[in-house]
Structure 1
Amino acid sequence: MPLVELEIEQRRRSLGGGLEVGRVLPFARRRMVGPFVFFDHMGPIDLAPGTHHGLDVRPHPHIGLSTITYLFAGEVMHRDSIGSEQAIRPSEVNWMTAGRGITHSERFERAQRVGDHLHGIQAWVALPVGDEEAEPSFTHHEGADLPQWSSDGVHGQLIAGEAYGLRAGARTHSPLFYAHLDLEAGASAEIPAGHAERAVYVATGSVELGDRTVAAGRMAVVAGHASRLRALERSTVMVLGGAPLGERFLYWNFVSSSKDRLIQAASDWKAGRMALPPADHEEFIPLPDDPLPSPTPM
């Protein structure tokens, strides 16, 4: 069996206002990796001083998931409907659990003031069925919550879950791991074992997995026996995975094990039944015109 089961190349997607991301998950042939149901590579992009606020991600809703925002460079201001207001900077984590429903915005206020260089990853993890309607929450993590290590040309930081003998501070709802590795050319690193599904995403540089070269902007879903990767040049890599949760349905910013719940969430947003962030409530992203999922037959 090859070490790489599938390679996924990012697809460029516009978020409006000139901001593009590289969408990796979901993918037609691989909707999820463990509980990871969504994976976007933001930037790298240089934002000039006085960047128009139209680049911002205006208030919008989520259900049934946790969002994990992680930056290599830049700054983003988060505000949500439970009153959280928190800037995120490189090597920090904003962890927002939507549960039964939350709204939030992400604004580039530093860029508007003095300019910025933005580069990072936003991932979503689906929640187990029993937690899909949990109370929404938000936590910010830095320092000791995000353990770091350096060895043999590898500098790592654990973002979430357990791996490399370490545990990150964010509360997770299912078994998973998520880590950031910076590797010197020729350095090798373990791909954490003990998880049913795992993947490697190359943000910069290129790595070798078995006899396969994986270039920047590509995710390799690895086989159960794959254990190490080797950097062919200086590289930045995200390793992630965990236990699968079963089928999930997506519509816009909503994730659920139930199509009917997606329809209800869309109706609630369209009717204005989901509160906006108290500190950012003067505008919002409207529901798209995309067709709603078909209801579950009775």
Structure 2
Amino acid sequence: MSFSPGKDPAAGDAYACDALANVIVPRTADLGDGFTVRRALPSARTRMVGPFIFFDHFGPTEFRGGKGLDVRPHPHIGLATVSYLFDGEIMHRDSLGTAVAIRPGEVNWMTAGRGIVHSERTPGSHRVDHEPIHGLQMWVALPSAKEEMDAGFAHHAVKEFPVVSEAGKNVRVVVGSLYGAASPVPVVHETFFGDVHLTAGATLPFDPDHDERALYVIDGAVDISGDRFEAGQLLVFKAGDRITVKAATDTHFVILGGAPMDGPRHIWWNFVSSRQDRIEQAKADWRAGHFGKVPGDEIEFIPLPEK
């Protein structure tokens, strides 16, 4: 396992910022009690990066006075949700009967397919003062041939993910293949996601092994071809260009992407599909109560939005 780039940078093209297709500053929403969510995808400038069609960064913050996260039961179709925490704990329950807590460095991969309902809440044992919460909620679209696949859920523990390390750099390979290491998470479309820490001054090659690539800065700042990018920015790169990422400070970021999706996707509320009529059917099904219930969380639910 190596961080060596595919080509010798001294022998080829110089790195340049024109390798950037877009720099996205997420829309930020304050949900109360200091709990903020930054939404980078979808954006007007970039709808998807590989199969990633939704990217939320929430926290870091602390809940006070016994409060916590309470995302009531709600439905999904046509996608897989990817939950990844840096701090805190969330209890996931779904209509398959799953009840699993997710902790930092673990992954919950929930395949909605033709339809699933789930909730995400802070466990009762964690509803204490100064309970931290910080993480990512991402969705990957499913290829059209798999949009109506059976729903499923998989939890992956920290120890399952390979870590590639050299002096000053550490990459946890969470999904797909990176730097000669492969994640055990099964996917139905070429996808990658890595959690990266660099010490100040360290560099990381980010070669065009995948057609669509992006980097999101969690903490610190990176330098690319002399331009500095701070925390809370999604950098979307052009296909085919070699990139070197330099840590301007001790830096934490994630890299993500994969192969282009097989056509555009409609996205409305929690529904994703290649067909608008399928979105309308899902709306009607949720309104009529045709989705399943979540065992252990059957009482509350999020109504279908009016708009």
TM-score, with normalisation over the residues of structure 2? 0.90
Determine the C-alpha separation between the residues in 1 that align with 2:42 and 2:217.
17
* Partner of residue 138, structure 1: 153
Counterpart check, 1:261 vs 2:282: no
Gaps of 5+ in 1: 291-298
Determine the C-alpha separation between the residues in 1 that align with 2:63 and 2:245.
33
Give the deviation of 1:150 after TM superposition.
1.7
* Partner of residue 93, structure 2: 79
- Residue 208 of structure 2 aligns with an amino acid whose one-letter code is A
4+ long deviations beyond 4 Å = 14-18
Counterpart check, 1:281 vs 2:295: no
CA RMSD, aligned part only? 1.6
Give CA deviations for 1:235-269 in whole Å, capped at 9, x if unaligned.
11000111111200100000000010001001100
Determine the C-alpha separation between the residues in 2 that align with 1:218 and 1:284.
33
Gaps of 5+ in 2: 1-15
* Partner of residue 220, structure 1: 235
Determine the C-alpha separation between the residues in 2 that align with 1:14 and 1:102.
27
CA contact (8 A) 2:164 2:179 kept: no
Give the deviation of 1:15 after TM superposition.
5.4
**Percent of aligned pairs sharing the same letter:** 46
Counterpart check, 1:99 vs 2:113: yes
Give the deviation of 1:13 after TM superposition.
2.6
CA contact (8 A) 1:163 1:192 kept: no
- Stretch of structure 1 that moved more, 273-282 or 22-31: 273-282
Equivalences, count: 288
* Partner of residue 207, structure 1: 222
Determine the C-alpha separation between the residues in 1 that align with 2:290 and 2:20.
45
Q: 1:8 aligns with which of 4, 7, 24?
A: 24
Determine the C-alpha separation between the residues in 2 that align with 1:18 and 1:203.
17
* Partner of residue 198, structure 1: 213
Determine the C-alpha separation between the residues in 1 that align with 2:76 and 2:31.
16
SS at match of 1:240: strand
Counterpart check, 1:235 vs 2:213: no
Give CA deviations for 1:169-207 in whole Å, capped at 9, x if unaligned.
111110111000011111111225321110010011110
CA contact (8 A) 1:160 1:178 kept: yes
TM-score, with normalisation over the residues of structure 1? 0.93
Determine the C-alpha separation between the residues in 2 that align with 1:258 and 1:183.
42
